[in-house]
Amino acid sequence: MTLDESRIGKPYGGDLASEAAQLVGYSRHMRLHITVDDELVAELDRRAGSRRRSAFIAELIRRGLDDERRWDDIEAALGAIPDEGHEWDDDPGEWVRRQRSDRRRVG
């Protein structure tokens, strides 16, 4: 995709330099200002070191957002499987044993 193609359907006046950087694979970083109590900073420094705070916090945010997306998926799926009419309804334990003993099962 060229820079011109990336602008199709977008209003003019955007930041062409940052759009060009995204096209060639550069990542952009945004600086945030957060307030954290001293005890939390001390534990952060013990775990990550004072020179790796940003990377450590970014990883925790990634993990937290990933967890949130998983919970969103779980909540969206609630009620998707009917309460009745399954192979396992009569004897769930037997159904599980059959599944585990099936030689075609992988993993």
Tell me the pLDDT tens digit for each residue of 14-35.
Answer: 566 666 666 666 667 888 899 9
The whole-model pTM stands at 0.55
Q: What percent of the chain has pLDDT over 70?
A: 72
Alpha-carbon distance 104 to 87, whole Å? 18
Q: What percent of the chain has pLDDT over 90?
A: 50
Residue 10 has pLDDT above 80, yes or no: no
- 43 and 78 in a common domain: yes
Tokens matching residue 33: 């200002």
The residue range of the domain holding 6 is 1-29
Alpha-carbon distance 6 to 19, whole Å? 8
Query: Does residue 58 lie within any of the structural domains?
Result: yes
Alpha-carbon distance 39 to 49, whole Å? 14
Q: What is the pLDDT of residue 99?
A: 87
- 35 and 5 in a common domain: no
- 90 and 40 in a common domain: yes
- 50 and 16 in a common domain: no
User: Could you report the per-residue pLDDT of 60-93, keeping only the tens digit for each?
Assistant: 999 999 999 999 999 999 988 888 889 899 999 9
- 23 and 36 in a common domain: no
- 95 and 58 in a common domain: yes
Alpha-carbon distance 48 to 54, whole Å? 9
Query: Does residue 106 lie within any of the structural domains?
Result: no
